[in-house]
Amino acid sequence: MPHLTTPMRAPAALPSPPGHGLAGLRDAVAARLRSWRERARARRELRELDDAILRDLGLPRAQARFDADKPFWRA
């Protein structure tokens, strides 16, 4: 049986793909916060629409109220 004379090396570490590590986590958190802020703003605006605009949009007042009252973290 042949004897190996050179030791086996561990494979070289591959670079982390984009979106991994602390930078990826920071970017994901920032994106989530932007999404929540935009959702909260849109729901505030929906709450302020008058009946004529809601009618033009084809959105019943009850549906607009239901959507506007959802917490910002719920889609």
Q: What is the pLDDT of residues 7-63, one digit of tens each?
A: 556 656 555 566 678 999 999 999 999 999 999 999 999 999 999 999 999 999 999
Burial state string for 12-30 with b = 16 or more CB within 10 A and e = fewer than 16: eeeeeeeeeeeeeeeeeee
Q: Any residues with CB less than 8 A from the CB of 43 and at least 6 apart, and which?
A: 67, 68, 69, 70, 72
In this prediction the pTM is: 0.66
Question: What are the start-end ranges of the H helices in the chain?
Answer: 21-48, 51-57, 61-68
pLDDT of residue 74: 95
Pairwise CA distance, residues 75 & 42, whole Å: 12
- The domains of the chain are located at 26-68
